[in-house]
Structure 1
Amino acid sequence: MKYQVGDEFLQELPLILGGPILKHTESESVTVWVALKQSCQVKLKVYDTTNDGETLGNCLLEGERSTVALGKYLHVVAIAAQSKVGHRLTGGRIYAYDLQFIVADQTTQMQQALSSNSSPPVSISYFDHQKPTFALPPKHFQDLQIVHASCRKPHGYGFDALPILDSIIQASANQPQHRPHQLFLTGDQIYGDDVADPSLWVATTLGDALLGWEEQLPVNGVYCTPQQLPPGKRADVATQAGLTAGLHNKAEKVNNHLFSLGEYYATYLLAWSPVCWPTAFPQGHQVKRDRHAIKKWNREVQHLRQFIYTLWKVRRALANIPMYSIFDDHDVSDDWNLNQAWCLRVLGHPLGRRIVQNALLAYTVFQGWGNTPGQFTKGKSGEKLLAAAQVWSASQGTDAKANEAIARYLGMPASDPHTDLPILVRDGSVFILDRHPEAITWNYIVRSDCHEVIVLDTRTWRGYPADQKPIAPPMLLCSKAFEQQLLLPLQQVTEQTQIQTTFVIAPTNVFGLQVIDWIHHWHLQQEKVFSTDVGDAWNINVEALAKFLITLFEERQQVVILSGDIHYSSVAHLSYARTHSKLQSVLVQLTASALKNEEILTRLIHTRLKDWLLPEKVRHWIGWIDPPNMVEISDKQLQHNRQLLTNSEWHCVLEWIPRNSVQTSTYTADILSLKAPWKRTENAKWKWLQPLIFWKSRWFQDGREVVGLNNLALVHFEFADESSSSKVMQDLYWFSSWYPTQIVYSRFESQLTPNQALLR
């Protein structure tokens, strides 16, 4: 049974297929991304408001740009609005924006473009004027509100936590100092490798329909279309292409791996908008024969139906807060660029290389363009990439020059003509993937009057040790990347710039739980690095970690890391001191994961069981600056030999911040809009049993160190006074397991000063 997507289906859809999504936003420029079903000239206007956002005022910024034709029914644009007379937006005010779509001298207003004859009216505003709104970061960091999250798999276990953001914004929409000011998605916005059968069933057909043609994929010496590689039948092909998700008895993870460009495009639309999803799915017995496969299909459909039910809230939230993102591995494929072995195996295979290029192009269009709109202006590499993507699609995937241009501007490494393997070049003691000088960059910086956010690309600039095995853990940033992505941005801030807080987004954790470190080191000794992502955490390569800390603390005394990836959330506090000087610094790592991908293990460590069996202890390191290195020492060693500190150039102490007791959020009343009717019925059915399940009791769920259920993080600050130091607080919102189901939050509070008692 096929998903019936054709010209008739697409023509009945609204003009806007995805978005609008508010992207890079600053005082002089506002960028909005939108995906349409036909080519348009798009106008963006940004308005001042009065009465706390209730009334539209003067137009302050304007912009106009044509869409990019990525397919017959997929036309995308990230349009930037600026002022022609010097208007500047400021913190402490609410602004609104509007879009107009011009086709053949006919103008369609945004509200019309959001609906169609077959689709009901859509609201993407919190005000009667029906315009999306936003507020810039304030002047003082104690008023700053930042949301961050990662890892959102549509068929993952549990409820999607991203719709909670809509509830948070709605509750404070008319309060510019209290509504969230920025959203950072720190990786795995989609799962290209781990896709449900019903999701691929939709994405394959929708992708082909959006493009208007079928991609010819190089599969073992022949060409196949996506339709010839149906759901549940892709594991062998994916594994032969070198994709590691299929190794170590994990074939079920790649049975539905995305391959084609259309599939990656479609998956983004399906993740952020309810428009293109089918109104109904077939029953398992209509598409599967095996009893186990039928059961699995029906279970995944139930997860997807709940996911789709709240997509309207996700869509509204993303229209009303500046959203920034960076990729992690699953945006492309599991273990993407994990080590040199992965690069040689996957990028040296025609299908593997095509998959990575398709995923990166889709990321560029759906995420990267809005993150760094300046790279996509006239004459820049981004504009050239978009032009090549248009030519590639217009030629139905046959224009070789367009394909070469796409690879060049995406930074795909050239292939050795003799071996077909990707070319690696030396950067000091490591190898890095070669790339063309015109390739666009994925790292970027966001600055306001009170803070800066340095977003790192730790996937495409890795340094692979030249004198070790190909599976050796890499430097997540090679020496060149350290300078370009971290050192230079830190040095750009002048004395006149009042940056009060520095955030660094490191998609994979700088520090992980002790037990995870043990597992990684054991798997590295066994040379089984792909099953647990050995090499993705910073602290598995101690030289790179030492350089990271030294680089940060040479320029800043206070750093907040935002991270995700690991499917649990936590807060860690690192105190750092130079041995022979008074310099002391602090790093606070705020981890938020997953939005929708909780697992049995994360549900276990979420509870008090983790604190009973494997409590986290204070950890100590001593380090040196030239060359950068660090060694972990135990409490016992430190107590018996204080000379260890004297012989080192710096030392640091890591402690895990416990979470406060669970609190019921003010968004509990909104729970009905977050749970589908059949889920409410299911909960009511087992209401009598809830008090008897010890596992689900509030007391047992009130763990100490992590939140392991699907969650969303809200970061805010407490200003220092004479009697106390400044604090950073991370409130993690999640769905309680006790009855009646509620939205609750766990607060982590960390000082923004070094722990003097531990440094002595």
Structure 2
Amino acid sequence: MKYQVGDEFLQELPLILAGPILKHTELDSVTVWVALKQSCQVELKVYDTTNDGETVGNCSLEGERCTVSLGKYLHVVAITARSTEGHRLTNNRIYAYDLQFTFANLSPQTLQQALCSNSFPTVSISYFEHQKPTFVLPPNRLQDLQIIHASCRKPHGHGFDALPILDSLIETSANQPQHRPHQLFLTGDQIYGDDVADPSLWVASTLGDTLLGWEEQLPVNELYCTPQQLSPGERAEIATNQAGLTAGLHQKAEKVNSHLFSLGEYYATYLLAWSPVCWPIAFPKGHQVTRDRHAIKNWNRAVRHLRQFIYTLWKVRRALANIPMYTIFDDHDVTDDWNLNQAWCLRVLGRPLGRRIVQNALLAYTVFQGWGNTPEQFAQGQSGEKLLAAAQAWSASQGRDVKADQAIARYVGMPAKDPHTGLPILVRDGSVFILDRHPEALTWNYIVRSDRHEVIVLDTRTRRGYPADQKPIAPPMLLCPKAFEQQLLLPLQEIAEQTQIQTTFVIAPTNVFGLQVIDWIHHWNLQHEKVFSTDVGDAWNINVEALAKLLTTLFEERQQVIILSGDIHYSSVARLSYARTHSKLQSVLVQLTASALKNEEILTRLIHTRLKDWLLPEKVRHWIGWINPPNMVEIPAKQLHHNRQLLTNSDWHCVLEWIPGNSVQTYAYTADVLSLIAPWKRAENAKWKWLQPLMWWKSRWFQDGREVIGLNNLGLVHFDLLDESSSGKVIQDLYWFSSWYPTQVVYSRFESQLRPNQSLLGNFRF
């Protein structure tokens, strides 16, 4: 049974397929991203407001740009508004923005007209009567800053999608510039290229071809296949053996049964993740698409999860229009294990289909995420503009323009191929190999600055260093030596000149420090060469040389660093206290992890409870380290006093502690969040309500674990400072749906001091 997406279907859709999404926003520029079904010129205007955002005033910034034709029915633009008269936006003030769409032979459309159609008669993307989306710049006092961060959002993942909670957070404080969230950072896995539900691929494959207006020829078995010839639920063998993808290894074929392959599928998946517009009104039943009993059961279960996901997409859409959103990829935005180690690169990038999938995913990431993160790279004459031109040419030629294909590969940073072996070319960077990149390739790391804080966003996927003297499966440096300098050292030194900045955030998509039991699992799998089963090499502390270099690089320039990360499907707070051995220099690193938005698992549900506190509590961990060459060694607490000479000869030492959360609290503004739960899900909950007293494992007491949040969640970061000079506390509130009363949002508060723990550092006695 085929998803019926044709001209008639598209004519019923509104002009805007996804968006508007507010992107990179500064005092003198504002960027908004939008995806349309028709080519046009888009005008963006940013307005002052009065009466706490209620009244729209004068235009402060404006800009216009033509859409990029990615396909017959897919036209995308990230438009930046600037001042022509030297106007600059200010802190602590609400601004509104509006869009207008101008066509060659049709009347212009307003934003509200472009959002609506016969199938979508009313669409709300504003919190005010004027119906314009609004935003606030970060405040000029750190204690007023509100940052949202999260990761890992799989549409058919278990549990409720936590991203719609952001809409509630903005709605309750929309007219309060000091209290509404100021920035959103999504730290990886915004979409899943692997582990795609069969019904999702059923939609994305047909929708993708329709949007493009042509069918991509994918290199399979030395022949070519179109996406429609590679049916949902039947792609595992091709994904694993033809493309070389590793997500399906170790009896995990279900992870790649419906893997995204084509460019249209990746494009469509982004539209489906951020907007309800292109989803079908209804899905077929499992028995209508397959005769396999197991597949029927999986299909119907996935559809139930997807229907709940789609139900709240309008809230996600409204939220993303009203807060600056910054993103960085992790592996699933492309495929599981992407660039995990040298073995993966040789296995996948040495095969035509593997290269095609990675290139398609990177091109889709560029136009749907990267463009809005760094709009300056897409200005006239820059690499981004050249890439957009190549993407247009590639689609106009229906995937036949070889020069356009080569240009896309060059600008997204695909490594060159050895003409004799077909394998990707690796070059040396000190003691490691790195994938060869063209000098004009786009850079994915970037920096966001405000008056009081800085956010350094790292690219730990495409700039890895693979040990040259070890096996190809060896854990990499997540940043090669050149990347350490370019992404960390130089930005830290540059920003150091801005004396008003009070705190530094570093976004590391994968955890710097993880739970100790996960470290044990990783080391065991590494010893048994099963690195692809648990992503061995993605955590910083598996390669101690890279971790030591990261810590010393950060602490040479900063005494206080806050890491934002995700990836791991649980949320937590950890504090690292660091001291130089033969000086008074001391520093602190606080790691705030928020994951997953929608991908809770049986294991994360278990560690979410008090069971983990009882059986596997996190212990304080101690390391000593050296600067040149960078290295560090973990010292068991019992042996600290028996290694006096080793401690004395070290350059630095540090202590890691896990910060317990406070007792769970009810989110007062959404005590009844029926708008977040679909009616059929509410009915299902009510059906089993009489059993609630017997299900003790869902009780508030048992679910109130102290170390981690393992249910789908969203992180809000803010500060508690006594005054401008105080180090104070950083606070992470993690919002999640309670299991004891499923129509209730609760939050767990984790507080960490922003200074080293002197009592723990005192364990090192020299």
Structure 2 length-normalised TM: 0.98
Contact 1:638 1:644 in 2 (8 A): no
- 1:723 CA drift (Å): 12
Residue 377 in structure 1 maps to residue 368 in structure 2 = no
Q: Distance in 2 between matches of 1:601 and 1:720?
A: 39
Alignment correspondent of 1:693: 695
Alignment correspondent of 1:173: 174
Alignment correspondent of 1:644: 646
- 1:519 CA drift (Å): 0.4
Residue 228 in structure 1 maps to residue 229 in structure 2 = yes
Partner deviation per Cα, 1:622-662 (whole Å, 9 max, x = no partner): 00001010000011111333443212110000000001100
Residue 62 in structure 1 maps to residue 62 in structure 2 = yes
Structure 2 counterparts to residues 569-648 of structure 1, below 5 A: 569-648=571-650
- 1:233 CA drift (Å): 0.4
Contact 2:623 2:655 in 1 (8 A): yes
- 1:494 CA drift (Å): 4.5
Alignment correspondent of 1:19: 19
Q: Distance in 1 between matches of 2:525 and 2:5?
A: 45
Residue 316 in structure 1 maps to residue 318 in structure 2 = yes
Structure 2 counterparts to residues 156-305 of structure 1, below 5 A: 156-240=157-241, 241-305=243-307
Alignment correspondent of 2:49: 49
- The DSSP-based 3-state class of the residue aligned with 2:473 is coil
Contact 1:133 1:320 in 2 (8 A): yes
Partner deviation per Cα, 1:553-572 (whole Å, 9 max, x = no partner): 00000000000000000000
Partner deviation per Cα, 1:673-701 (whole Å, 9 max, x = no partner): 00000011111111111111111000000
Task: Give the residue type in structure 2 aligned to 1:9.
Answer: F
Contact 1:215 1:225 in 2 (8 A): yes
Task: Give the residue type in structure 1 aligned to 2:222.
Answer: G
Task: Give the residue type in structure 2 aligned to 1:153.
Answer: K
Query: Aligned residues, how many?
Result: 760
C-alpha change, 1:725 and 1:324, in structure 2 (3 Å) is: closer
- For structure 1, the 5+ residue unaligned runs are none
Residue 9 in structure 1 maps to residue 9 in structure 2 = yes
Of 503, 506, 518, 1:504 maps to: 506
Alignment correspondent of 1:137: 138
Partner deviation per Cα, 1:448-492 (whole Å, 9 max, x = no partner): 001000000000000000000000000000000000000010011
- 1:510 CA drift (Å): 0.2
Aligned sequence identity (%): 86
Q: Distance in 1 between matches of 2:742 and 2:257?
A: 37
Alignment correspondent of 1:713: 715
C-alpha change, 1:45 and 1:250, in structure 2 (3 Å) is: same
- 1:107 CA drift (Å): 1.2
Alignment correspondent of 1:490: 492
Residue 153 in structure 1 maps to residue 165 in structure 2 = no
| Higher alpha-carbon deviation: 733-742 or 748-757 | 733-742
Q: Distance in 2 between matches of 1:731 and 1:104?
A: 49
- 1:725 CA drift (Å): 4.8
- 1:496 CA drift (Å): 4.4
Alignment correspondent of 1:675: 677
Contact 1:191 1:333 in 2 (8 A): yes
Partner deviation per Cα, 1:517-550 (whole Å, 9 max, x = no partner): 0000010000100000000000000000000000
- The DSSP-based 3-state class of the residue aligned with 1:233 is coil
Q: Distance in 2 between matches of 1:758 and 1:365?
A: 47
- 1:497 CA drift (Å): 3.6
Partner deviation per Cα, 1:221-262 (whole Å, 9 max, x = no partner): 010000000000000000011100111111110000000000
Q: Distance in 1 between matches of 2:727 and 2:469?
A: 46
Alignment correspondent of 2:32: 32
C-alpha change, 1:723 and 1:555, in structure 2 (3 Å) is: closer
Structure 2 counterparts to residues 347-496 of structure 1, below 5 A: 347-496=349-498
Alignment correspondent of 1:737: 739
- 1:117 CA drift (Å): 2.1
Q: Distance in 1 between matches of 2:281 and 2:196?
A: 19
Q: Distance in 2 between matches of 1:422 and 1:724?
A: 51
Contact 1:36 1:73 in 2 (8 A): yes
Partner deviation per Cα, 1:10-63 (whole Å, 9 max, x = no partner): 111000000000000000000000000000100000000000000001100000
- The DSSP-based 3-state class of the residue aligned with 2:668 is coil
Residue 74 in structure 1 maps to residue 74 in structure 2 = yes
Q: Distance in 2 between matches of 1:266 and 1:656?
A: 40
- 1:705 CA drift (Å): 0.4
Task: Give the residue type in structure 2 aligned to 1:207.
Answer: G
Q: Distance in 1 between matches of 2:403 and 2:726?
A: 62
Partner deviation per Cα, 1:182-207 (whole Å, 9 max, x = no partner): 00000000000110010000000000
- 1:304 CA drift (Å): 0.2
Contact 1:167 1:670 in 2 (8 A): no
Q: Distance in 1 between matches of 2:226 and 2:470?
A: 39
Q: Distance in 2 between matches of 1:257 and 1:497?
A: 48
- The DSSP-based 3-state class of the residue aligned with 1:187 is coil
Task: Give the residue type in structure 2 aligned to 1:259.
Answer: F
Q: Distance in 2 between matches of 1:369 and 1:503?
A: 22
Contact 2:672 2:744 in 1 (8 A): no
Task: Give the residue type in structure 1 aligned to 2:504.
Answer: T
Contact 1:667 1:743 in 2 (8 A): no
- 1:739 CA drift (Å): 2.7
Task: Give the residue type in structure 2 aligned to 1:358.
Answer: N
Task: Give the residue type in structure 2 aligned to 1:84.
Answer: T
- The DSSP-based 3-state class of the residue aligned with 2:33 is strand
- 1:290 CA drift (Å): 1.2
- 1:741 CA drift (Å): 3.2
Q: CA RMSD in A?
A: 1.0
Partner deviation per Cα, 1:577-617 (whole Å, 9 max, x = no partner): 00111100000000000000000000000000001110000
Contact 1:193 1:330 in 2 (8 A): yes
- The DSSP-based 3-state class of the residue aligned with 1:594 is coil
C-alpha change, 1:720 and 1:641, in structure 2 (3 Å) is: farther
Q: Distance in 2 between matches of 1:613 and 1:724?
A: 37
- The DSSP-based 3-state class of the residue aligned with 1:515 is helix
- For structure 2, the 5+ residue unaligned runs are none
Q: Distance in 1 between matches of 2:576 and 2:644?
A: 20
- 1:495 CA drift (Å): 3.8
Task: Give the residue type in structure 1 aligned to 2:49.
Answer: T
Q: Distance in 1 between matches of 2:668 and 2:71?
A: 44
Q: Distance in 2 between matches of 1:562 and 1:76?
A: 29
Structure 1 length-normalised TM: 0.99
Contact 1:720 1:727 in 2 (8 A): no
Task: Give the residue type in structure 2 aligned to 1:482.
Answer: F
Contact 1:27 1:88 in 2 (8 A): yes
Contact 1:687 1:739 in 2 (8 A): no
Q: Distance in 2 between matches of 1:476 and 1:398?
A: 35
Q: Distance in 1 between matches of 2:119 and 2:679?
A: 23
Task: Give the residue type in structure 2 aligned to 1:104.
Answer: A
Q: Distance in 2 between matches of 1:366 and 1:66?
A: 16
- 1:316 CA drift (Å): 0.1
- The DSSP-based 3-state class of the residue aligned with 1:166 is helix
- The DSSP-based 3-state class of the residue aligned with 2:701 is helix
Of 505, 522, 527, 2:529 maps to: 527
Contact 2:677 2:743 in 1 (8 A): no
| Higher alpha-carbon deviation: 494-503 or 25-34 | 494-503
